[in-house]
Amino acid sequence: MSGIAVLAIDGPSASGKGSVAQRVADALGFAYLDSGALYRLSALAAKQAGVVWSDELGVACIAAALDVRFEVGLTLLNGRDVSAQIRSEEIGVGASQIAAFAVVRQALLARQRDFALAPGLVADGRDMGSVVFPQAELKIYLTASAKVRAERRYAQLIGRGDAADLAAITHDLQERDARDAARAEAPLRQWPDALLLETSDLSLDQVVEQVISWWKTRS
């Protein structure tokens, strides 16, 4: 990882950081890490193996042994495309639950750092700038109001043809925010060295442009 440029984007669920990070990575010619996908994959793999999400050590063992490949537009678990499965609300809740466990986070730490490849990496998650890549050259905390994030998630689900309830999604996001912020291990928060980017009133293009501008003018 030494000498490899890293741009870390953290923020709450449904803040749009994944879409932003992917677009920025493409624009800069950097590798991209969706750290949340690793937690979602761990939650899905645990469910498939009959391991309950409250079993810290059991889930950690699952996470450490994940057979995962990321290809263009696809996420493969044990050779099978699970791109849609890991984006379900149920798996999202499971990912948030297991992410609170220190042993699970430790099991995935080295795997996340392995994504740092030349010429650089754009990584998004909850603790990219604080724990996984503390020496990142640029750290951004990307957020939006719970109302806006819920509306975005609702539109995303409806667009995929899934059933969705806006009130339930809003409630779930607020609970997930509270759980992520209160956990003892790598809590979600804006750290002092991260730039705040509030996106409630910005388009995706505007957010991407701002991030790239900050990267080009970083000190």
> Which residues sit in the known binding site for ATP?
11-19
Closest listed residue to residue 190, CA positions, set 20, 26, 60, 10: 10
3-state DSSP call for residue 122? strand
pLDDT of residue 2: 57
So what CATH class is 5-216? alpha beta
Closest listed residue to residue 12, CA positions, set 104, 102, 120, 126: 126
DSSP 125-140: ESSIIIII-TT-SEEE
Closest listed residue to residue 46, CA positions, set 64, 34, 33: 64
Q: Does 177 score more than 60 pLDDT?
A: yes
Q: How confident is the model at residue 133 (pLDDT cuts 50, 70, 90)?
A: very high
> Which residues sit in the known binding site?
11-19
